[in-house]
A = this chain, B = another copy of it.
Amino acid sequence: MTQRGNDSASGRRARGRTTLRQVAGRAGVSEITVSRVMRGSPLVAPALAGRVRRVAAELGYVPNRLAGTLAGHASTQIAVILPALSNIVFAEVLKGLETGLEARGYHPILGISNYDAEHEADLIRSLLGWQPAGLVIATAGLTPQSRAMLTDAALPIVEIMDSDIDPIDMSVGISHRGAGAAMARHLVARGYRDIAFIGHDLSRDHRARARFAGLRAGLGRAGRALAPARLRLCPSSVALGCDMTRQILARHRPQVICFANDDMAIGGVFACIGAGLAIPRDIAVTGFNRLDIGQAMPAPLTTIDTRRHEIGRLAARHLIARLEGDDPPSHSDVGFVVIPGATS
């Protein structure tokens, strides 16, 4: 007495949802025909297709993508792993990604690593379990284990944000070291000598660390020393930038303060204004990322545009290209842009 079989129009539903079989039964055709109609196959007579579509709509049939993917081949889910979302930067990358994926019928499954490499490895494992068609990751520092899982998984992978890497498969980003160096050149060209650096916890954020290294090296090559960096072991924020700037200004006024990113720099600008300093007359300030707010300030922030929406867009595009059999470039540098602003 198993209750399998053609319960057709009887109304029984697996897990409360209409199945292919029910639509087929009600329309008086076979399951495969319904399947073809739902996937827009041209192999079905238009009249029949119309009828099937009508029945499917009546029954509120929604194809089960789980079963479809298991039986067919390609999933349309894409695993996306980011280190954070508190910063608008990754939200914008994600926006670019989602737009690019959604437009082609793909859906992101999201994981946030919190800049924790171990957690990132767990995320990779669990998201791979969904058999995604591809994976996009802004790394928190791949563990050897993570790297092995990704290599073995044999699916298209785009490592985003940083182009100074040897990607497992593809990369889309900018050179963070190069961005630091570019900022150094900018400052050297303007003749600054007494240069300070304020940052957050760089031990977990390797891209910010690379920018810092690039900045220091760039200044060093030009014979300028960077004052010992002031770092605080917590996430970056406007308030932190403001607070640390006040501390520096309490004992000394450098010609320039470079901040790890725009959030911190905006806080720094507020602190300078609060201290009665005119920017850039009394002190110069630089950031990184080119947040809209920084550019809308009375004196637009000196910063570097990281073109993150473009990073998301391109990552989606290359991933899809690969999935469709094309051969996109394995390294894509979207190119950063130095924004002189009015604060240096």
Contact = CB atoms under 8 A, between A and B. Distances in A.
B60 A149 contact: yes
B99 A95 contact: no
Interface stretch (A3-11, A25-33, A123-131, A195-203): A123-131
A222 interface: no
Given A111-B107, A296-B270, A85 B91 contact: yes
A326 interface: no
Interface stretch (A65-73, A207-215, A224-232): A65-73
A85 B94 contact: yes
B112 A95 contact: yes
Q: Which 3 pairs show the lowest CB-CB distances between chains A and B?
A: A91-B91, A238-B296, A85-B95
A67 B70 contact: yes
In the complex, the count of this chain's copies comes to 2
Interface string A36-74: 000000000000000000000000101111110110010
A23 interface: no
A107 B88 contact: no
A321 interface: no
A66 B237 CA distance: 40
A327 to B, nearest CB: 19
Interface string A83-112: 011101011101100110010010111111
Given A15-B131, A111-B107, A152 B92 contact: no
Nearest to A85: B95
Contact of A65 (B84, B85, B130, B152): B130
Interface in A254-272: 263, 266-267, 270
Interface of A: 15-17, 60, 62-67, 69-70, 73, 75, 77, 80, 84-86, 88, 90-92, 94-95, 98-99, 102, 105, 107-112, 123, 125-131, 148-149, 152-154, 237-239, 242, 263, 266-267, 270, 273-274, 292-293, 295-298
B107 A65 contact: no
Given A66-B70, A88-B91, A131-B65, A126 B111 contact: no
A60 B296 CA distance: 51
Contacts of A293: 238, 263, 266, 293
Given A98-B112, A109-B107, A131 B296 contact: no
Given A66-B66, A91-B85, A109-B107, A267 B238 contact: no
A66 B69 contact: yes
Contacts of A130: 65-66, 77, 107
A65 B237 contact: no
Given A85-B98, A102-B123, 12 more contacts: A66-B66, A66-B69, A77-B109, A77-B130, A84-B95, A88-B88, A95-B112, A98-B111, A107-B110, A239-B292, A242-B296, A274-B298
8 contacts: A16-B153, A62-B153, A65-B129, A65-B130, A85-B91, A94-B110, A237-B296, A238-B293
A242 B293 CA distance: 10
A168 to B, nearest CB: 15
Contacts of A75: 66
Contacts of A15: 73, 131
